[in-house]
Homo-oligomer: A and B are copies of this chain.
Amino acid sequence: MPIIRSTLDADLQYLTQKIAQEVDKELMSPAGGFVVEQLMELAGLSVAQSVAKEYPLTKYGQVLVCCGPGNNGGDGLVAARHLWHFGYKPSIYYPKHSKKELFQNLVTQCNNLHIPFVDILAVKSGDYSLIVDAIFGFSFSGAVREPFGEIMKILAESKVPIAAVDIPSGWDVEQGDVHHTDIRPEMLISLTAPKLAAKHFRGKFHYLGGRFVSSDFAHKFGLELPAYPGTDQCVRLP
C-alpha cells in the first residue's frame, strides 16, 4: 500500500497544477502502464461511490451530472453510469461533445442505459436533489467559454448540494475561488491526490478517490495518501 498517514498534516501532498499534470502524465506513460480508459473508470467509480456514501439513493435519487469538454467531464460520464447501476436516476448535461473516441464511447455507454442527456432548459426546469460538478478539473486555466459560464452560474445559485469532481469548476487549481465563481460544493472528491485548491474547500465532505497509486510513485511525487478502508475505492479525509 502507499505511504499511510492517519491525518493529512503536511502541505506537500496538496498538488500544484504542474505536479498534478506530471502525475497524470507519468501514470499513463510506458513506465506507469495505465491507459486513460482504466484510470477514468476507477476515478468515475470512486466519484459514484463517494456520492453514494453521503447522499443516499432514497433521498438523492435525482442527480444532475454536469460534464465539461475534457477529462473531468469524462470522469463525470463514468460516474453517471455507475450511479445508474447503483440505482440512481442520473441526467447528464454535456453541451460540448468531444469528438474523441474515448468520450464518444462513454456517451454510447450512457445512451445504452437510457440516461437522458438534457439541455440547459431542462436543467433550469429540472427537479434535482444533487448536482455532480464535472465541468473543469486540474487543467483549468481561467478562461470560461459559453455555455459553461451559464451552467456555472446555475451551480453558484444551486439550492441543492453539489459534489465537485477534483476541483470545484472555475476555481484556480492552486488558489481556490479567486475568479469568484461562488460555486460552493458540499462535497469534494479529490482524485489521485488533493490539489492545492482543496485547502480552500469549506464543504462538509472531502473524499479521495483513485486507488491505483504505487508506493514508489507516491514517494517520487511526495504524495502522502491515507489508507483506503476495505475494498472501497474512496476514503473520507479528515
Contact = CB atoms under 8 A, between A and B. Distances in A.
A231 interface: yes
A160 interface: no
B33 A86 contact: no
B42 A86 contact: no
A31 interface: yes
A34 B85 contact: no
Interface residues of A, number: 39
A214 B228 CA distance: 29
Interface stretch (A101-109, A121-129, A142-150, A198-206): A101-109
Nearest to A86: B231
A1 B34 contact: no
A171 B180 CA distance: 63
Contacts of A32: 108-109, 112
A168 B30 CA distance: 33
